[in-house]
Structure 1
Amino acid sequence: MEINKKVRSKKLGTKVDLTAMVSVSFLLIIFFMVTKELSKPQAMSLGLPDNRISCGSFGCGTGTETRTITILLDKDDKMIVYSGLLAYPLESPKEVVYGKDGIRKELFNKNKAVQEYSAKYGRTYRGPIVIIKPSKKCNYKNLVDILDEMAIANIQTYAIVNNYTPEERKLLAVK
């Protein structure tokens, strides 16, 4: 007597592999953490003049004119530097070259002069303020070179401004 038994296949337990889901979850967590960190507003120190009255080289004011140096960049590696305001320059505008005997020497001298001025008037040292003005004819290499000089001379406060005053245009045309 043979009993008709059907052979049933053995059922295997179902197993879900969650490795891929865990990897994707970690990637999403990292992505959202990084985007959250990058979306925070970044604070930048701003060199504002002191509220106390002090006398600069050409009259009483805020004293920032003694800390300001402006660098005008033009074509053919031409660079003109002046301190203070162009209408009342502390030093007359002069053409300088790139390198250690040119702009770097000027920046180091200005840094030293600002330190002495700060010590003379009992102020905390904040360093010179450099305004870099590249013309439309200035090449990119010159702008990178001047930024390298800022790092070498340890100038903390500088700005790249692209608008020339009519007096500065005349100065570039003459020199």
Structure 2
Amino acid sequence: MAEIQENNSKEKKGNKQKKMNIRVDFTPMVDMNMLLITFFMLCTSLSKPQTMEISMPSNDKNITEEQQNKVKASQALTLLLADDGKLYYYEGEPDYKNYASLKETSYRADGLRSLLLGKNREAVRKVREVKEKKARLEITEEECRQEIARIKSGKDTPTVIIKATDRSTYKNLIDTLDEMQICSIGKYVIVDLTEGDRFLIDNYVSKGGLSQNATDRNV
């Protein structure tokens, strides 16, 4: 509680001055603070960690390597995460003789995102329509998730194969996975880089010098 103490000072020039000292007791505020903390702890929901679904290679020994790598060439897109923030890609089967079959892009919106949207535009449109239905309460949350999962796994949607070099960064991988979610890519997998992939990158950097050297040696 607040207390007011009055003190009479000495007369100055015939006038009496009265001073008031105010003392505020904050002890009751401690109980109030504890009640407020308890209230917010009980009424506030804790933030949940954001998770991301990642499709990993199957460990089933009965599945052959040919079956694991069997992807429709027209729908397959392979991303090669290289050093210095470089990002390369090729569509379908790799062409080791033509270095220009490997193309370079970036992690920006006008790079990788534009590439993925171009290959998955129809699925993105359908996912947007489903989310609009959910916003209008025409379908439930569970129905929305099931419908989006069905759209993403459709037979006409692309399959993205992600391969990272030893000198790529975690940021490069996270940026790539973020684009999978933004562009509604439902079929993507992270696999190891092969010697052929390393050859593609080195051959691209050398503007076909490695393939030309190999041809000269065969001659």
TM-score by length of 2: 0.43
CA contact under 8 A between 1:133 and 1:163: conserved in structure 2?
yes
Task: State which of 129, 132, 147 in structure 1 corresponds to 2:162.
Answer: 132
Q: Determine the structure 2 residue equivalent to 1:154.
A: 184
1:66 alignment partner in structure 2: 74
Please give the secondary structure, in 1, of the residue aligned with 2:78.
strand
**Structure 1, residues 118-145: CA drift from partner, whole Å, max 9, x if none?**
xxxxxx6441000000011111110010
Q: Is the 8 A contact 1:80 1:94 kept in 2?
A: yes
Question: 2 CA distance for matches of 1:132 and 1:152?
Answer: 16
**Letter of the 1:163 counterpart:** L
Which is further off, 79-88 or 151-160? 79-88
CA RMSD of aligned residues (A): 3.1
For residue 163 of structure 1, report the CA deviation from its aligned partner.
2.8
Distance 1:98 1:144 in 2: 10
Q: Which has the higher contact order (CA 8 A, sep 6+)?
A: 2
Residues 123 and 184, structure 2, Cα contact 8 Å, conserved in 1: no
Count of paired positions: 107
How far off its partner does 1:162 sit?
1.3
Q: What's the % identity of the aligned pairs?
A: 37
List runs of 5+ in structure 1 lacking aligned partners. 1-43, 47-61, 116-123
Check whether the contact 1:66–1:114 (CA below 8 A) recurs between aligned residues: no
Counterpart mapping for 1:101-140 below 5 A: 101-112=110-121, 125-140=155-170
- Contact kept, 8 Å, 1:103 with 1:149, in 2: the verdict is yes
* Alpha carbons of structure 1 residues 86 and 114: separation in structure 2 relative to 1, 3 Å: farther
2:73 partner SS: helix
Higher helix share: 2
Given the two structures, how large is their TM-score scaled by the length of structure 1?
A: 0.53
Runs of at least 4 residues of structure 1 off by over 4 A?
none
